[in-house]
Amino acid sequence: MKKYKFKIIAGIFLLMTVALFIASCAASKPIADKPGALLWGENCVRCHNAPSPSAFSDTQWEAIGKHMRVRANLTEDEVNKIVEFLSMANQ
């Protein structure tokens, strides 16, 4: 009887380990998504020349990001990554 109980606990433990492993794979997926620099190069040239990162300040890029997000039909996450890249590259 005792041995049987141990098997159940071991089984649950194994299942939880497998579940955690699968969950950690799913969580790491967005990191593999496109970086801001690539999104900038792909999206911000569709209607005009890609603006140079140094052309605007961080605050200006944030406002521009909000405007161009609507125009370019980007997700909030995508635009945040582009603005983050532009703010890093305009020093």
User: Is residue 72 a contact residue for ligand HEC (CB under 6 A)?
Assistant: yes
Q: Which residues of 60-83 are buried (b: 16+ CB within 10 A; e: fewer)?
A: ebeebbeebbeebebeeebbbbbb
User: Is residue 64 a contact residue for ligand HEC (CB under 6 A)?
Assistant: yes
Interface with ligand HEC (CB under 6 A), residue from 8, 27, 32, 47:
47
Rg, C-alpha atoms of the chain = 23
- Scanning 5-13, 20-28, 29-37, 64-72 for contacts with ligand HEC by CB under 6 A, the matching segment is 64-72
**Burial tier of 55 (Cβ tally within 10 Å: 0-12, 13-18, 19+):** exposed
User: Is residue 71 a contact residue for ligand HEC (CB under 6 A)?
Assistant: yes
User: Is residue 82 a contact residue for ligand HEC (CB under 6 A)?
Assistant: yes
Give contact residues for ligand HEC (rule: CB under 6 A).
43-44, 46-48, 51, 64, 67-68, 71-72, 82
